Amino acid sequence: LGPNDLDGVRLVVSAGGTREPIDSVRVIANRSSGKQGYAVAAEALARGASVTIVSTVSLPTPPGAVVVPVETAAEMHAAMNAAADDHDVVVMAAAVADFRPASAATGKIKKRDGVPEIVLEPTPDILAGLGENKRAGQVLVGFAAETDDLIANATSKLEKKRLDLIVANDVGAPEVGFAHDTNAVTLLRPDAKPVEIDLAAKRDVARAVIDTIVDIRRTR
């Protein structure tokens, strides 16, 4: 495992939280900072990969990466589906909204009109779709933010979404996950023992994720 072990490999990673419009000025958002996704991108670049970041945030672009800016789950869906066609490794590190307003109001909803009722509809599960359409040899990686039954819930997502790796983090623990610079995760693969990464910088978590991706590609 070292600097050139992803030479010639194309990796796409999604990063940040989606924003779903309520009207022309308001959105439903989440607390994802995009830092873990960008750390995966930076580590993959350092290991020789060509990297695309499908991003909802404006963090500094790691030198050499191509950034595809998106805002909504629908935009991220389209961008990830397009990218999956020509990328060998697909990582969904973004926090995608599970629900969005069924329709966004045109203009700004006025306070004087009273409290609005916002009807929600589910968003497409981007990662599950990528799993259904996975090409031979492609490596598909998901993240799972859990507050309880971490291993059981993440294992079920690993299977249902046909992933090669899921990075599970206990977002209920201190200093972990959203908006922090550190993370503590468990790496789960089909038919392999879980690997725990204790509280570490997001770049160190990214290194462990990339190490595992390299191992998955080698053991095929």
88 annotated ligand binder:
no
Catalytic-role residue among 30, 81, 133, 183: 30
Q: Is residue 55 within 8 Å of 66, Cβ to Cβ?
A: no
Please, which residues bridge with residue 27 across strands? 21
If the CB atoms of residues 73 and 139 are measured against ligand C5P, the closer one turns out to be 73
Burial of 97 (0-12, 13-18, 19+ CB in 10 A): buried
CB of 112 to ligand C5P, least distance (A): 35
* Stated length of the chain: 220
If the CB atoms of residues 25 and 151 are measured against ligand C5P, the closer one turns out to be 151
Distance (Å, whole) CA 74 – CA 129 = 13
Please say if 30 is a catalytic residue.
yes
If the CB atoms of residues 24 and 156 are measured against ligand C5P, the closer one turns out to be 156
Q: What is the residue-wise DSSP string for 162-218?
A: T-SEEEEEETTSTT-STT-SEEEEEEE-TTS--EEEEEEEHHHHHHHHHHHHHHHHH
99 annotated ligand binder:
no
Count of C-beta atoms within a 10 Å radius of residue 10: 16
* Positions that interact with ligand C5P (CB under 6 A): 73, 92, 94, 96, 98, 123, 125-127, 142-144, 157
157 annotated ligand binder:
yes
CB of 127 to ligand C5P, least distance (A): 3
CB of 184 to ligand C5P, least distance (A): 17
110 annotated ligand binder:
no
Known catalytic residues are: 30
Binding-site residues sit at: 98, 108, 124-127, 143, 157, 161
